[in-house]
Amino acid sequence: MVTVGLTEVLAALSLATDLGSGFAPEKGLRTCLVALAVGGQAGLDDGELADAFQGALLQALGCTAYATENAWHFDDDLAFQRAMHGLDVSDPVSLASFGSWAGAKRGAELRAHFLKIAATVGPQATQSSCEASRALGTRLGLRPNAIAALDHVHERWDGLGIPGRCSGTSLSVAARLMHLAAQAVIAHSTGGAPGALTAVGQRAGGHLDPELVALVLADPDPLVAALETADPLAAVIAGEPPPKARVDRDAVDGLAEAFGDLADLKCRFTLGHSRGVAALVDRAASLAGLGDDARGRLRRAALVHDVGRTSVSTGIWERPGPLSAGESDQVRRPRMSADNEVLARRFFDELCNARDDSVADEIIAADYVAHGPQAPPAEGPEGVKARISVYQDALDGYWDVQEIHSAGDRVVVRWIGRGNHVGELMGVPATGANVAVDAITILRIADEKIAEEWTVWDALGLLQQVGAMPAPA
């Protein structure tokens, strides 16, 4: 029986919930790492740590359940959710800045509206997000105590949370860790480690469990290390408390359905959309005579195809009438980003590594220009092929992509150039040395082709590795 790690799937879903709750990617991953670190300090056993791990990773699982209503009340559901997560209702300064996303005048109106409806609409909204978390959490196979912690996402230590039914130690330790970790991560994004420590310190005994805060302040190193982990995805996967949860490969369809449902809840016009697309795709694949593997891949792709929708305000999705140019750009951006990253991936995988020169004509613009002081200049598809062949020949090069990010029409790729020095390079005859050189490339995409490139790489390191320059002592 082929199985896959449940945490890998949950981590991907966590990234989708970051989009749906208006936060930068990896907020859920870092919240999970902080909860794990502080839970370790508190001496929790593996079962309790696993509850906190899953709860913190998916604390925003219900993020899209009330998106339509939030957009209706507060113009922008994503800005509202961001504000809610950082809001301290016991702090007048925190309350006074609520609504700032809409400008001074409209912000004041939204603040007044919030205060007017918080006691009545707040519990309804929380209940619907908790119901969504519980339903999705059960289908995902989350631990029962992790699902219970998700019910307490908006509760507080002092009982001033929503719905306000639990306080103090009647909140599970998983929930209390989740609260602390989330506040640390939110404050860290603007104030760094000092800001995170100040924020949790200020909330001790109010929002947060004072004993957990005291543990953190007495020894902040584990929390700071968790906040500043270079690769949070890898750290979450490696850090899952034992035993590692695994699911049958056949169950992945059910997990993919949870992604689709999360995306479809974003807008009242799209409920059931992803499942409908998946059923249609599956039927088309069947009629086309595709095998079970291909059908399964297509079905799962259909189930997750609209996850990017969650990153756009429901106020835009549900706007009657035409969108402004800026709103249209927001709607197109997730699709554009994904397409641009695929182009970058093809550049490195197919053109550079698989050495399929025909790909250059497909993905490189006729007026492409490469910049960068360390490689031969290049123009157009032919220039790219010539530029790459230098390293394919001299180093038997392999472009080992480490990470890809995109924004607007740019894609940023960090990669390591690996190889064996088998031919002359930069005037240095072959030495047979193995090399590994850090590099960063920015690509500009226009009309679905790569139009411009800027690359810098560690030329000095390469020269040292092939013995052309002395290495530092």
Beta bridge partners of 403: 414
- Give the helix/strand (H/E) hosting 81: helix 77-86
CB nearest Fe ion: which residue?
Answer: 306
Buried-exposed string 356-371: b where 16+ CB fall within 10 A, e elsewhere? eeebbeebbbeebebe
Nearer residue to Fe ion within complex by CB, 10 or 277:
277
Cβ closest to Fe ion, residue 261 vs residue 306: 306
Q: Is 66 exposed, middle or buried (0-12, 13-18, 19+ CB in 10 A)?
A: buried
264 forms part of the interface with Fe ion (CB under 5 A): no
**Residue number with CB closer to Fe ion (44 or 267):** 267
CB 451 within 8 A of CB 445: yes
Q: Which of 75, 151, 306, 341 binds Fe ion (CB under 5 A)?
A: 306
Which of 112, 280 has the CB closer to Fe ion?
280
x/- binding map, residues 38-57, to Fe ion, per CB under 5 A? --------------------
Structure tokens at 446: 């226009």
Binding region for Fe ion (CB under 5 A) out of 27-35, 95-103, 115-123, 306-314: 306-314
DSSP code at position 416: E
Q: Closest CB to Fe ion among 266 and 387?
A: 266
Give the interface segment with Fe ion, choosing from 73-81, 298-306, 356-364, 373-381 (CB under 5 A): 298-306
306 versus 458: smaller Cβ distance to Fe ion:
306
Closest contact distance (angstroms) between CB of 142 and Fe ion is: 26
Total residues contacting Fe ion (rule CB under 5 A)? 1
Q: Residue 129: which residues within 8 A CB-CB, separation 6 or more?
A: 62, 63, 65, 66, 153
- Minimal distance in Å, beta carbon 264 to Fe ion? 9
For the CB of residue 21, give the shortest distance to Fe ion in the complex, in Å: 21
Cβ burial, residue 292 (10 Å; 0-12/13-18/19+): exposed
Segment contacting Fe ion by CB under 5 A, of 92-100, 122-130, 301-309, 348-356: 301-309
The type of residue at 246 is R
Any alpha helices (H) in 141-270, and if so which ranges? 144-150, 173-202, 210-218, 221-227, 232-239, 252-264
Q: Which stretch binds Fe ion (CB under 5 A): 303-311, 319-327, 400-408, 427-435?
A: 303-311
Question: For binding to Fe ion (CB under 5 A), which residues are involved?
Answer: 306
